[in-house]
């Protein structure tokens, strides 16, 4: 939630919705930097995953995976840097059939860039 509410929401308001909330380039830049610092602080949790452990908490898919994937999608969409471990995690989540179906349903007119 920290990644979403404290950084991505500010970027959304002052970059994508600047006609409503006003443009604030400094807030956008600072929020992107904040996202990068915060996600970097937990990168070892993802990169330390053992083979077969693809989820954030335990051995099964949970709401944490949904929230993190949404945050990573939006960070990618607005151009925030994501560490390679989280890029791999995002790619793994995006390969799930349920994810692809939800993307097709929710964003049929908006393409979110895929991680290389």
Model pLDDT for residues 9-30, shown as the tens digit of each residue = 999 999 989 999 999 999 999 9
Model pLDDT, residue 116: 47
Question: The pTM is what?
Answer: 0.81
Do the domain assignments include residue 114? no
Do the domain assignments include residue 57? yes
Task: Specify the CATH number for the domain of residue 100.
Answer: 1.20.1050
Model pLDDT for residues 29-49, shown as the tens digit of each residue = 999 999 999 998 888 777 655
Could you give the number of structural domains in the chain?
1
Q: CB under 8 Å to 49, separation ≥6 — which residues?
A: 89
């Amino acid at each position: 939630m920290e990644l979403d509410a404290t950084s991505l929401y500010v970027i959304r308001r002052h970059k994508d919705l600047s006609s409503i909330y006003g443009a604030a380039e400094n807030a956008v830049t600072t929020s992107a930097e904040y996202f990068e610092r915060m996600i970097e602080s937990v990168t070892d949790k993802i990169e330390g995953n053992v083979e077969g452990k693809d989820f954030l908490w335990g051995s099964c898919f949970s709401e944490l995976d949904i929230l993190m994937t949404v945050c990573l999608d939006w960070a990618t969409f607005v151009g925030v840097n994501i560490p390679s471990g989280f890029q791999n995690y995002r790619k793994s989540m995006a390969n799930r059939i349920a994810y692809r179906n939800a993307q097709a349903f929710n964003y049929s007119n908006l393409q979110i860039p895929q991680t290389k």
